[in-house]
Structure 1
Amino acid sequence: MSLPHPNSPEFAPALKAAREAMGLSYTELAKAVGINPAMPSRYENNDHSCACAPRDSTWQKLNALFSGRATDSLNSKITQAEDVSLAESTVEQIIQELKARGASSVTINY
């Protein structure tokens, strides 16, 4: 699934439908894409008082989440502490975190 551009009148209802289809709360959605917890509600309700349209980078993260590219890491991102010490993380955990934050691929050179 791909969300319409944030300036499109179809964006708000499409975002709401996608969020509800995944069973996500506003807070879970916000954590999954790294935005303020108040923003998903504002996006869905076309809150014009704050010029609430997601930036292109946030729109891309939302599309990645709803298209399934970020779904594998969604549960771990929501349940883990937000501050992860790299010293205590495995390479796999670091790669998973980078992908959850929108990296489409990760390459490690030794």
Structure 2
Amino acid sequence: MSVLPDFESAEFAPALKAIRKQLQLSRTALAAQVGLSTAAIQRYEAQDGSNIKPSRDAYERLCKVLADLLQHSPAPVAVTPPAASPVTPVALPPVVRSEPLLAPGILLADATLEQLIARAKSMGAKKVTIEF
């Protein structure tokens, strides 16, 4: 069982923040252990319009690091997500992609500008600014 709710869940952001605070970790400390930026952790925890969802890989790394930290913490940490009002689940249509965002085996460093923009937008970017 994962220590965090699914990253698509509305409970993900508050649960991540609650576990991080219970472990007495700063965003920077957690980011360093997971291999992410501090800004990424901040935006994963945000409960306003600025939040983003982690990739599947980042989510799995977060879960692994937090599980290890919880297992090795000096005192057992009770993970209690904040109480949420009842929500009626809504069935969403499946996401259909006509082509992969980045072909398997293509590193981000080797991707074209169009592929990078498509990837950013698929991850929730509303605007992409390119500066030279």
Distance 1:41 1:62, change over 3 A: same
Q: TM-score, normalised by structure 1?
A: 0.56
Deviation at 1:69, TM superposition (A): 6.9
Instruction: Tell me if the contact between 1:4 and 1:14 (Cα under 8 Å) persists in the aligned partners.
Output: yes
Structure 1 residues 21-71: Cα deviation after superposition (integer angstroms, max 9, x where no partner): 11110111111111111111111113534x611111111111111111797
Partner residue, 1:90: none
Give the 5 Å matches for 1:44-63.
44-49=45-50, 52-63=52-63
CA spacing shift, 1:38–1:21, aligned 2, 3 Å: same
Identity across the alignment (%): 38
Structure with more helix by fraction: 1
Tell whether 2:38 aligns with 1:37.
yes
**Hey, what does 1:6 align to over in structure 2?**
7
Question: Which amino acid letter does the alignment assign opposite residue 65 of structure 1?
Answer: V
Q: 1:35 to 1:9 in 2, by over 3 A?
A: same
Contact 2:23 2:70 in 1 (8 A): no
Task: Please say if 1:26 is aligned against 2:36.
Answer: no
Which entry has the higher C-alpha Rg, 1 or 2?
Answer: 2
> Contact conserved, 1:2 with 1:63, CA < 8 A, in 2?
yes
Where structure 2 has 5 or more consecutive residues not aligned to the other structure, the ranges are 73-132
TM-score computed with the length of structure 2 as normaliser: 0.47
2-structure distance, mates of 1:70, 1:56: 21
Runs of 5+ consecutive residues of structure 1 not aligned to the other structure: 73-110
List structure 1 segments (4+ residues) > 3 angstroms apart after TM superposition: 46-49, 69-72
CA distance in 2, matches of 1:40, 1:57: 14
Highest RCO, 1 vs 2 (Cα 8 Å, sep ≥ 6): 1
Q: Residues of 2 paired with 1:23 and 1:70: CA distance? A: 11
